[in-house]
Structure 1
Amino acid sequence: MSTTPPPTSGSPAPPTTGGTFLRPFKAPPKSKSDWLTSAILTAKTITAAAECAPFPYIKGVSGTVLILLETVVTVKKNCEDLEELCNSATEIITILHDQILAHGNTAAIKFKGLCEEVESYLEAVILAIQNLQDQSKGFRGRVKEFLMSSNLTDEIAGYQTQIQGLMAIVETNFKVGEIHAIVTAPSFTMIKAVENINNCPPPSRIFQGRQAILDKMHQFFGKDLRSQHIYVLHGLGGAGKTQIALKCIEQSSFSDIFLVDTSKVETIETGLKSIAVSKNVGNSAQDALRWLQSNHNKWLLCFDNADDPRINLNDFLPKCSHGNIIITTRNPDLRSYGAHTFVSDMEEADATTLLLRRANKENSEENFKVATQIVKELYYLPLAIVQAGAFISKSEDLEGYLALYHSNQTKLLSEKAAQSHDDYAQTVFTTWQISFNQLSHLAATLLQLCSFLHYTGISEEIFSIASKYNFPSWLPPREELEEPLEFLSHFVGPTGEWNSLKFLDITTEIKAYSLISFDAKTKLFSIHPLVHAWSQSTLPNETPLRSCMSSILGMYITKIPENEIELASVRLIPHVVLLKFVNPDGVADFRKAFWDIYYNAGKFKDTQDIAEQVLKKSQLLLGEDHPHTLLVMGNLASTYFRLGKSQKAEGLQVLVLEKHTKLLGEDHPHTLLAMGNLASIYSKLGKSQESRGAEFSSAGETHQTPGRRSPRHTFQKAEELKVLVLEKRTKVLGEDHPGTLLAMGNLASTYSKLGKSQKAERLQVLVLEKRTKLLGEDHPGTLFAMGNLASIYSDLGEFKKAEEFEVLVLEKRTKVLGEDHPDTLLAMGNLASTYFRLGKSQKAEGLQVLVLEKRAKLLGEDHPSTLLAMSNLASTYHDLGEFQKAQELKVLVLEKHTKLLGVDHPDTLRAKANLAVTYHSLGDFNKAQSLGLEILQQQRKILGDKHPHTILAMENLAILYQKLGKQEEMEELKQLIMDTKESL
């Protein structure tokens, strides 16, 4: 219901809206009749003028009349019944406005009580009109009853009579030469000073918490009085800075207290003048400063709302070595004046108590629990909590607030309560709008763009690297890039270099109003979550800006080196998810970029959704045989495989290979790449089948059953394709080409899995020799070949040789890539595995713990690489006989796999089987049996009754039946196993 008045000549003008980034000016609502239109225009004019006069009660009554008129606008019919009421209210503020224009301070002081009385009365009228509209009875009849019962005409006439009487008093006291224009009217400080110089407005009656800040301030002001004490409270609008200052003042014993409105130079000068007048030392700001400089008593000067970064506050500070000063500001640059505290969100318990107090709700256990959830959603911002409490007090529905908030956030955070506990005139969203209106066009645009990213982890690098994007030659220029390129051009020099200084200037401008924060250690920006939500609400149409930010992020991702994409995906996935880049109409070059982020972050379900949508659109726009269509098809095949959909993955990749072969020929690089990808699917499928699950022995240990689970046929398919790829690449590219050496290494790995040890070793040694010669000993490609050779030695059982190479790989990767790089952690994990095989258990465990800690920190607890490290460590604990530790980790792995991949995914089934083995080793046969039954049912559903993995699940379950003494069930299952094997 609140409204922000248009800027007046005395206020800084808002930025122009010539571009597409800023919200255009909205015209006032259309009136239903001429009288209402005229009244609204009058009220808006007076309200705007009142903004320049620092009298809260003048602003309050004129703003309340405007709210009354806008409430009447919402009446569906018969609003004419309220015409007399509206005209009378408008006439009152018109008279008040004219009197203060004519007589300045004299009139303002005399009309103070009347203004507050009228404002309070009209707030009750507004609430009554709103309630009337909610009732079922006819509106006209209800209004007439209301007008008669309330005696509105008499009440309004009484106020007008009071005005006439006060006008006569003002005229009597008025002296020639004392006319003051509204822009030079004295501030609230002067009126307070004239009444009682030692009284500041008290803090809110529901002030809560902030004890740590208050203690710090009291300690600071209690120090040596021979030096001047300046304390700065800085932070976001609505964080409670002024209330903390007032609370500190209330709890202190200063000799003289002066509160100065510091929002404008004019109000500062007026506030200082009032000090001079009240102390009879002159009538100018300089007189006041001289008096403060000469007065060695314990005075306190509070500069409130020092938010405008263009004002040099130093010009108004007393130049002396004594006295006390508090500054409240949104501008963090003012920290340089003295001790300071960043005023941010409240502690949860204090925030919850504040909400309940403002909502007039009992602080019961049940209410406290509900209120805690509400303040969490409000991110513990004081002003938001007070507004929520006011709404709940009116609706009397604490439990239903969150549901309303989720669907009406902007309205609830923009609506001012009729009853207030302090003099703060703005709502959560309007207080930030005031700051936003001061931003330049470029700064406002950057803030709005960032509101489409996640509110943390925003970096300059996203924009600077995006500015270097080159549109691929095979795609025509797209209109989607016009706006992002135009925006980025503001930060690019004439020779194409990124201008960090210009970017710093713009971000500093936004930081000056605390609308964005910067962490110097991480070099990352962040936005308060509520500011983040509000920033989008400033847009009449968010689509152009969302598309712009989506393109900038896509441009950035395409420039990330392939070996850095995994770590980058962890940083960027929150941004990508928030942007919801699933629009297949977007720039084609960015589709793979966003797919890469989802894929490398382990978000395979989301990856599938993106790839499937993009594939459909690509087939429609470009055709089924277009290179981009086939690229997307290959990406989707890889995604299917990671989701455990092996048949879909294989079928799609076979189709890609067939199309490439038909369109480009057998020897084309794209055909060979497709062939290699299909071979990789076969290899991965073979590895997956190898480690499908562990098998119980009657003694409870685990052992491998290579004959039963060896996916030899799958590896043979991979071998055939890899031999062909190597032959063709050797022929087309030459023996020393990186593509040829990659194919050679891939074939060596498959030879190893097939037991062709000598071939595998010979081929991988050759790869290592060639890469060392061509690339050098420390090149990532060389280290990759060295690691593969170590893996082959492990497969051969030559663990000592494997250890030598793996130690070397780890040392070099640590040196070249750093301790936290994914490739370094992979080398660390491989070395741990070899240590274990060599009987160096403590070394193995130590490395695996370190790998898990680093992956969890860098990639997140749900990333596939983290879960693999967790599973490996659990296996090590199990093999060391530390079954309880193993169980804890395996339970966690199973829970995460189930949540992320689903109950039927191979990784989930493998995790379930591994946990069952640990339960078996712990002697908890009931839990093991429960999991064994689940595994058997899922294997039957997925693979059928005669699949080797299903038979293995039966055998494991039979062992558990024996352990539990379930002889009959065991015999039945053994007979079923025998019958199944005979039918094969």
Structure 2
Amino acid sequence: MPDSPIWQILSATMAQPEMFKPVDIGPDYLRQSFVDGGFGCNNPTAHVLAEVKAIMPSRDLSSVVCIGSGHPNTIQLQRHAMTSRFIPTQILSLTKSIALDAEKVAHEMEVRFQSTTGVYFRYSVDQGMQSQKVGEWEKLQQVTANAQAYLRGLKVSNSIDDAVASIKARKAAVKTHRIDGVIQSNAPDQTTGYKACPTPTPLFTGRQDTIDRIIACISKGDTQRCVFVLYGLGGSGKTQLALKTVQQTKGIWSDVVFVDATTNETAIAALAGFAKEKKVGDSHESAVRWLSNRQERWLMIIDNADDPDVDIRQYTPDVDHGSILVTTRIKQHVALARGDDSDHRVSEMNPDEAMEVLLKAAKTKDTDLSIAERQATVKLLKDLGYLVLAIVQAGAYIFSSSCSVTQYYDMFARHHQKTLEKSSQLIAKMDDYKKSVYTTWHMSYEQLGTNAQRLLHLMAFMHHSSTSEDIFRRSAIGIRTYTPEVPATQDEKEAQAYVTECLEPYLDSTYSWDSSAFLDTMTEILSYSLISYDKINGEYTLHVLVHDWVSTVINYPLNAAIEHTGCLLAVSIDYEDDMDSLKYKTAIEIHISRFLEWQERPRPNHASRFAEVYLRAGKRSEQGKMQKIALDGQEKALGRENDATLSSMLMLAYVYQQQGRYQEAMTQIEQVVDIRKRVSGSEHRQTLIAMQTLASTYYSLGRYTDAQSLHQHTLDTSTRVHGHDHPDTLNSMHSLALTYQAQGRYDQAESLLLKVVDARKRVSGDEHPETLTSMNVLAFTYYRQGRYDEAESMQEHVMEVKKRRQGDEHPNTLNTMGDLALTYLAKGRYGEAEELQMKVLEAKERVYGEGHPETLTSMHNLAGTYYSQGRYEQAEELQKRVVEEQEHALGAGHPSRLLSMRLLLETYHAMGESRRREYETLEREIRELKSRAG
């Protein structure tokens, strides 16, 4: 064929004589005429195979699919009239038919591939096509019908299924250097022992962004050395990600070498087998040397490089070219990476991809799931931590056992390990991976030193995330001076000794915290990808399943291990209220709550400190439970008049007060005050604190005169005994200002609050919770004085800081939001006021409950906003509910209830004649209550 443009060659190839003229191509001095490329090669299979062998001699053939043009007429001479003897048209036609006979080549191919199965596939419509001519395009519908009838045949249909499976599997069936004669299947190589690169599981889903990153790096291996490292937790899908990358790039590599680096022996065997396969030697060195000298684009997969004793560098060519893809749990192997953006931590899947994998493994469709099944699926995936191996194995069991997702989730919720390991009992596996998720991690765990294992044990009963070095630092320092209030039990003593021993390696010779030693141990755990580290927040996280698994590898009684974690957490907590201490208590609350799932009733000594954490978090119910446990233990062991017992009694009474149980609170506080006065004296600090708490309870009960008198007494005494800027003095001053505010004495309240805010800023800082609380009360005083702009500015500032410091649903934050909404209302910004009040009401219903006085106050305020907008029916509905529930919560004549009744009275008045009877009845009731209080 002359060297000509492609369009000319295509034209010549398609110059069918019955439809086109011959095409002349080539230079002017040597032009040649061409017709129909189908002459002699209407079935080009033999030519294609010869070409493949020529340009890809060392590759493998997976499948050959040929599409014929339909079964032909039998080639024969036809009888014609006498006159045709003198015109050789029949001979010409016969010659053409022989030249176009594709079936002859097809038969030759069948002979050539006769000893193979699942490699050569030929499809040609066997009936109805004999009379069709090339130019009869108008008979296309008939051709289509014949083709469809052909495809519906059972034999053809099964053959097509086999062809699809062969194409999808892409298994090496025949060496290309053996495809131009009679084909023999690749016999299993009994000498090389080489394992070709496997194909990825058909369940593989998503992660295309990561694959694209890998390809962008390793595809440059013909001009530079490229090493991409995939590292992460066992079971996260590193190997499958690598195999999928190979599948998507198979056409660009001259050679793909798959090395199982589980041990030195497996790595050596893989490379030696590759050397034998290539006939370049029989050792792993031969393979490495051969690859080093190859200038083509080759790829080496170093899989499962999880053993630190296996130096994978000795198995990779040390040259300036080539592509290497490493999968490992050892984070330090990232140091081997070469090229731009050349490492990636493989972690959990995103929820949508995880859902798709589970459905594939369970062989079900999204549309087949009921609402309940879908909800169970979402919960299961979350509890599996979106870990791909766990998801695949869960799906496999769901399919094989024919159980529902809901049933599987129920089993998993009760017995994590037992349920996850059920897939290993299945007869048929979905892939070649035989280990359960727990088994894969145990291999890494056994590589850890004692110190690292001990830290993991302590973390097993904390929350799986947000673990900071500060927990261990505070524990190591605090345990040296820790003295239990209640005499320690033998279990507590043993736990304290164990935790002391665990943390001793992280103290230097002066018993100061040695951060470097701690980081060394955590780095050891990190190196096996059993935990991850958030550099921005300085926090460690265990995958939820790893976290669950750790408790299964502890080789001593589980109760003792739980006791160790309880001791670690408790001794890390102090009773200070500086910003660092408050910040720490906010951070550790998640771990306390998780620990209490393991030990619902902790030791009284621990419960007292856990109560301190819940106090600062504003979680009154949890605080009350812990305070009650502490008090019960202290009363039993120490007696009612012990200092620790009295402190717990007072704190429990404070919880009652915050829960709206004012009478219970008052009764208990009065007992504490009496005992304190008798045991410690009237001017003892703890006596004054108890008296101040009692005064605050009087305030909550609406007994403002009693509250004012007692607050004034504690303020005067505290000022004389402790000084003006002492925290106790400032607390008394703040509480007295609140009472003035309730009495409508706003100028006196403002005067006191300005002093308190100024002092607290100096002593505790601008963002200390107590500073912010006093600022909020001062802002509300401005609101009461009609100074709305000043109130709004201060309230918005306080709200922003409280949200950041304490959270959106901390009681202090909600109070500020509610006060700000009232300021918006006063300024006529009804929409903003209503929106904020709705948020506060919904949050308070969650935090306090529907009948709590705080919730009812927010409901009262929202009703006021409805009233201001003329929405009287909505206002009336809320106000009636508030008045009714306040009677149960506060008492019939409480000032807050009287205020709500007066607002309801105004609503009745605004609604006119239709509410006259209700108005008169309510007005009478208010008069009676006021006269009774009188």
Partner of 1:531: 546
Partner of residue 410 from structure 1, selected from 391, 400, 417: 417
Distance verdict in 2 for CA 1:948–1:219, change over 3 Å: same
Maintained 8 Å contact 2:221/2:322: no
Aligned to 1:558, what secondary structure does the other structure show?
coil
Q: Deviations over 1:601-634 (max 9, x none)?
A: 1111111111112212221122222222112112
Partner of 1:780: none
Partner of 1:575: 591
Q: Distance in 2 between matches of 1:676 and 1:805?
A: 17
| Shift of residue 856, structure 1, vs aligned partner | 2.4
| Shift of residue 329, structure 1, vs aligned partner | 0.8
Q: Deviations over 1:281-330 (max 9, x none)?
A: 22222222111111011111000011123433333321112111111111
Q: Deviations over 1:614-669 (max 9, x none)?
A: 212221122222222112112212211121222222221221222233334445x3
Q: Distance in 2 between matches of 1:753 and 1:205?
A: 69
Q: Distance in 1 between matches of 2:738 and 2:194?
A: 91
Q: Deviations over 1:939-965 (max 9, x none)?
A: 222344344443333332232233344
Partner of 1:383: 389
Aligned to 1:468, what secondary structure does the other structure show?
helix
Distance verdict in 2 for CA 1:426–1:446, change over 3 Å: same
* Counterpart check, 1:394 vs 2:400: yes
Q: Distance in 2 between matches of 1:838 and 1:940?
A: 29
| Shift of residue 582, structure 1, vs aligned partner | 10
Partner of 2:514: 499
Partner of 1:123: none
Aligned to 1:497, what secondary structure does the other structure show?
coil
Percentage identity across paired residues of the two chains: 29
* Counterpart check, 1:341 vs 2:357: no
Maintained 8 Å contact 1:719/1:750: no
Partner of residue 680 from structure 1, selected from 683, 693, 707: 693
Maintained 8 Å contact 2:531/2:541: yes
Partner of 1:109: none
Maintained 8 Å contact 2:681/2:687: no
TM-score (ref. length: structure 1):
0.68
Q: Distance in 1 between matches of 2:783 and 2:862?
A: 20
Partner of 1:515: 530
Partner of 1:856: 803
Partner of 1:712: 705
Aligned to 1:203, what secondary structure does the other structure show?
coil
Q: State how 1:772-787 maps to structure 2 within 5 Å.
A: none
Distance verdict in 2 for CA 1:236–1:754, change over 3 Å: closer
Aligned to 2:321, what secondary structure does the other structure show?
coil
Maintained 8 Å contact 1:234/1:331: yes
Distance verdict in 2 for CA 1:944–1:474, change over 3 Å: closer
Which sections of structure 2, spanning at least 5 residues, go unmatched? Answer: 1-187
| Shift of residue 481, structure 1, vs aligned partner | 1.2
Q: Distance in 1 between matches of 2:412 and 2:920?
A: 61
Partner of residue 242 from structure 1, selected from 227, 239, 243: 239
| Shift of residue 928, structure 1, vs aligned partner | 1.4
| Shift of residue 383, structure 1, vs aligned partner | 0.9
Q: Distance in 2 between matches of 1:451 and 1:256?
A: 46
Distance verdict in 2 for CA 1:244–1:745, change over 3 Å: closer
| Shift of residue 501, structure 1, vs aligned partner | 2.5
- Max radius of gyration: which structure? 2
Distance verdict in 2 for CA 1:942–1:808, change over 3 Å: closer
Partner of 1:225: 222
Q: Distance in 2 between matches of 1:869 and 1:909?
A: 16
Q: Deviations over 1:708-730 (max 9, x none)?
A: x7822322233345445556x3x
Partner of 1:656: 672
Partner of 1:435: 444
Maintained 8 Å contact 2:698/2:706: no
Give 1:214's aligned amino acid.
Answer: I
Partner of 2:365: 362
| Shift of residue 206, structure 1, vs aligned partner | 1.4
Q: State how 1:351-750 maps to structure 2 within 5 Å.
A: 351-364=354-367, 366=369, 369-370=374-375, 371-396=377-402, 397-415=404-422, 416=424, 417-469=426-478, 470-472=481-483, 478-539=493-554, 541-558=557-574, 562-580=578-596, 589-667=605-683, 669=684, 672-683=685-696, 685-686=698-699, 688=700, 711-723=704-716, 729=721, 737=722, 741=726, 744-745=729-730, 748-749=733-734
Q: Distance in 2 between matches of 1:583 and 1:196?
A: 54
Aligned to 2:393, what secondary structure does the other structure show?
helix
Q: Distance in 1 between matches of 2:190 and 2:325?
A: 18
Maintained 8 Å contact 1:304/1:329: yes
* Counterpart check, 1:970 vs 2:919: yes
Partner of 1:909: 856
| Shift of residue 830, structure 1, vs aligned partner | 6.5
Relative contact order higher in (CA < 8 Å, ≥ 6 apart): 1
| Shift of residue 855, structure 1, vs aligned partner | 2.6
Aligned to 2:835, what secondary structure does the other structure show?
helix
Maintained 8 Å contact 1:454/1:574: yes
Q: State how 1:761-840 maps to structure 2 within 5 Å.
A: 795=748, 802=754, 817=765, 821-822=768-769, 825-826=772-773, 829=776
Q: State how 1:70-219 maps to structure 2 within 5 Å.
A: 194=192, 199-219=196-216
Q: Deviations over 1:683-736 (max 9, x none)?
A: 3642x46xxxxxxxxxxxxxxxxxxx7822322233345445556x3xxxxxxx
Q: Distance in 2 between matches of 1:793 and 1:753?
A: 9
Q: State how 1:17-56 maps to structure 2 within 5 Å.
A: none
| Shift of residue 871, structure 1, vs aligned partner | 1.7
Q: Distance in 1 between matches of 2:293 and 2:789?
A: 74
Which range is displaced more, 677-686 or 540-549? 677-686
Partner of 2:269: 270
Q: Deviations over 1:54-75 (max 9, x none)?
A: xxxxxxxxxxxxxxxxxxxxxx
Q: Deviations over 1:476-529 (max 9, x none)?
A: 674441111121123223332223222222111111111111122222111111
Q: Distance in 2 between matches of 1:859 and 1:464?
A: 23
Maintained 8 Å contact 1:806/1:830: no
Distance verdict in 2 for CA 1:498–1:751, change over 3 Å: closer
| Shift of residue 393, structure 1, vs aligned partner | 0.8
Q: Deviations over 1:818-875 (max 9, x none)?
A: x765456557657766886898866754554454344323322221222123223222
| Shift of residue 982, structure 1, vs aligned partner | 4.8
Distance verdict in 2 for CA 1:952–1:234, change over 3 Å: same
Aligned to 1:967, what secondary structure does the other structure show?
helix
Q: Distance in 2 between matches of 1:195 and 1:474?
A: 69
Maintained 8 Å contact 2:485/2:605: no
Give 2:396's aligned amino acid.
Answer: A
Partner of 1:106: none
Q: Distance in 2 between matches of 1:191 and 1:457?
A: 53
Which range is displaced more, 865-874 or 512-521? 865-874
User: Larger % of helix: which?
Assistant: 1
Q: Deviations over 1:64-108 (max 9, x none)?
A: xxxxxxxxxxxxxxxxxxxxxxxxxxxxxxxxxxxxxxxxxxxxx
Which range is displaced more, 291-300 or 577-586? 577-586
Q: Distance in 2 between matches of 1:684 and 1:795?
A: 21
Q: Distance in 1 between matches of 2:748 and 2:190?
A: 86
Distance verdict in 2 for CA 1:641–1:562, change over 3 Å: farther
Q: Distance in 2 between matches of 1:945 and 1:820?
A: 39
Aligned to 1:327, what secondary structure does the other structure show?
strand
Partner of 1:788: none
Maintained 8 Å contact 2:261/2:304: yes
Distance verdict in 2 for CA 1:945–1:387, change over 3 Å: same
